């Protein structure tokens, strides 16, 4: 863990790799619906039938990973982490084959430290649990109450739940399912995870050697860019932080927003820096992922995009047991959503809020069988560049994804092809 991205990016490397940053609750603006789009199928008798829903969602509010050095610490007391009774369900965590939960080195690293107040870093709070419960309620209104798409009681034949092997995302998945089905279940809910080396639900710097090489250079470089470097030096001076402590805008923001979200005080000196910290943290992430560099995004989210496409194909072919599934839920991180938004070319230079979701709906014309994919972000429909409408014809959507999706075999082949690759 400590060698993921080199000395210059040490404090930030874990946060980038495992989706630890967060943002104030902002919503994206909805895009205009293109005139060529088919009408909404909110009416069950519509010409267009909803066939499949896939949701990538960020975990809820959490404790910070680190406190800013030399700055008054907030008190992260255990009462901030108490689960609301309405989020309780009967669930189990397994590997992808249904076996025992794999080891969780990322979570283990959190448990080696204790924040002021007595809790561990990176833990889902009561507020975060409620945020995911409310996302589940929103999905319930759309897919159970407003249309008869899902059963009102949880069914494993209909719903697939996968999470990164980190407690905050596992608990977030649990809370979403509780809100979606109002704790109604006849069977236990399996939440599937995989070992850290093979994880594709976040940019895996630990499991992909080439991604580590490509991004470590850009990570170290991001804090030295002219505008960012000058602002960083100013805020270091204001806070009394020494340069050798390697505190960047992402770490500062991590602590600041955690406090604000939970009503805990920030040191007064930081108040005037709020907007600048937010702007520079996004600037850093944009430089690290650099969407103009296709290889970066392919290695960050290529395998995940391929899985999303495979789920669509299986549903349309109807040739496997998985084709009966109606809903795929993926509990992930902001560092999953950001490169996905970049790959879809809809990233708006705003950090994804807690419980943000990217939802893909597959629709099919009842008469012609023509298929469409509709993408929404934070509940707002998106017009994807390369698509002729918000309801994107399947082949157009396939073309959009193909720019960055990678099969598992190709992904691992590229990850291990590091000869001569020392930097970008």
What DSSP letter does each residue of 134-179 carry, written as one string?
HHHHHHHIIIIISSS-S-SSB-TTTEEEEE-SSHHHHHHHHHHHHH
- Residue from 41, 231, 255, 334 carrying the catalytic annotation: 334
| Out of 64-73, 125-134, 295-304, least confident range | 64-73
Distance of CA 341 to the CA centre of its chain: 10
Cα 176 from Cα 171, distance rounded (Å): 9
> In the structure, what pLDDT confidence band is assigned to residue 33 with cuts at 50, 70 and 90?
very low
Cβ pair 87, 128 in contact under 8 A: no
- 248 is annotated as an active-site residue: no
Q: For position 318, what pLDDT does the model report?
A: 87
Sign of CA dihedral 61, 63, 68, 73: positive
End-to-end Cα distance, the chain = 22
Half-sphere CA count of 84, side-chain side, radius 13 A: 20
Cα 305 from Cα 324, distance rounded (Å): 20
Q: Which of 24-28, 138-142, 222-226, 365-369 has the highest mean pLDDT?
A: 138-142
Domains and CATH numbers, the chain: 7-213+290-415 (3.40.50.1240)
Q: For position 184, what pLDDT does the model report?
A: 95
Q: Is a pLDDT exceeding 50 seen at residue 31? A: no
Q: Assign 3-state DSSP to the chain and report helix, strand, coil percentages, each to 5.
A: 45, 15, 45
> In the structure, what pLDDT confidence band is assigned to residue 422 with cuts at 50, 70 and 90?
low
Cα 255 from Cα 34, distance rounded (Å): 41
- Residue from 59, 262, 306, 363 carrying the catalytic annotation: 59
Q: Coil, strand or helix: which one is 362?
A: strand
Burial 135-163 (b: 16+ CB within 10 A, else e): bbbebbebbbeeeebbeeebbeeebbbbb
- 41 is annotated as an active-site residue: no
Q: Is 79 exposed, middle or buried (0-12, 13-18, 19+ CB in 10 A)?
A: exposed
**What's the average model confidence in pLDDT over 250-257?**
92
Helix (H) or strand (E) holding 96: none
Q: For position 198, what pLDDT does the model report?
A: 96
The conformation of residue 420, written as its DSSP 8-state character, comes to T
Closest Cα to residue 68, out of 205, 219, 269, 228?
A: 269
Closest Cα to residue 236, out of 249, 221, 254, 225?
A: 249
60-90 tens-digit pLDDT: 999 998 888 878 889 999 999 999 999 999 9
> In the structure, what pLDDT confidence band is assigned to residue 36 with cuts at 50, 70 and 90?
very low
Q: For position 18, what pLDDT does the model report?
A: 35
Residue percentage of the chain with pLDDT more than 90? 75
**Whole-prediction pTM:** 0.90
């Amino acid at each position: 863990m400590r060698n993921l991205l080199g000395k210059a990016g040490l404090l930030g490397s874990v946060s980038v790799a495992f989706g630890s940053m967060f943002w104030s609750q902002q919503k994206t603006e909805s895009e205009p619906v293109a005139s060529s789009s088919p009408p909404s199928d909110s009416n069950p008798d519509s010409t267009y039938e909803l066939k499949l829903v896939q949701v990538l969602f960020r975990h809820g509010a959490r404790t910070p990973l680190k406190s800013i050095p030399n700055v008054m610490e907030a008190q992260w007391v255990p009462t901030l982490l108490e689960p609301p009774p309405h989020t309780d369900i009967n669930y189990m965590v397994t590997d992808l084959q249904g076996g025992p939960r794999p080891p969780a080195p990322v979570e283990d690293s959190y448990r080696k430290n204790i924040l002021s107040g007595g809790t561990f870093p990176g833990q889902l709070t009561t507020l975060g649990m409620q945020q995911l419960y409310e996302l589940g309620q929103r999905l319930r209104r759309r897919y159970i109450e407003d249309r008869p798409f899902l059963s009102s009681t949880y069914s494993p034949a209909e719903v697939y739940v996968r999470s990164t092997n980190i407690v905050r995302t596992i608990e977030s998945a649990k809370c979403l399912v509780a809100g979606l089905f109002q704790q109604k279940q006849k069977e236990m809910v399996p939440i599937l995870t995989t070992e850290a080396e093979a994880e594709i639900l976040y940019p895996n710097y630990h499991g992909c050697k080439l991604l580590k090489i490509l991004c470590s250079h850009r990570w170290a470089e991001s804090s030295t860019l002219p505008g960012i470097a000058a602002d960083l030096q100013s805020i270091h001076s204001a806070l009394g932080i020494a340069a050798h402590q390697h505190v960047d805008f992402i770490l500062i923001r991590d602590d600041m927003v955690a406090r604000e979200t939970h009503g805990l005080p920030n040191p007064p000196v930081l108040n005037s820096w709020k907007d600048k910290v937010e702007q520079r943290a996004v600037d850093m992430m944009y430089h690290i992922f650099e969407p103009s560099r296709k290889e970066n995004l392919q290695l960050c989210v290529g395998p995940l995009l391929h899985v999303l496409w495979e789920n669509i194909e299986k549903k349309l072919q109807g040739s496997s047991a998985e084709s009966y599934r109606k809903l795929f839920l993926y509990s992930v991180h902001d560092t999953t959503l950001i490169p996905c938004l970049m790959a879809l070319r809809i990233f708006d230079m705003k950090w994804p809020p807690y419980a943000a979701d990217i939802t893909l709906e597959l629709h099919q014309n009842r008469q012609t069988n023509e298929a469409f994919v509709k993408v929404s972000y934070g509940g707002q429909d998106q017009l994807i560049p390369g698509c002729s409408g918000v309801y994107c014809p399947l082949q157009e959507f396939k073309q959009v994804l193909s720019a960055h999706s990678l099969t598992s075999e190709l992904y691992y082949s590229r990850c291990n092809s590091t000869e001569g690759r020392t930097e970008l």
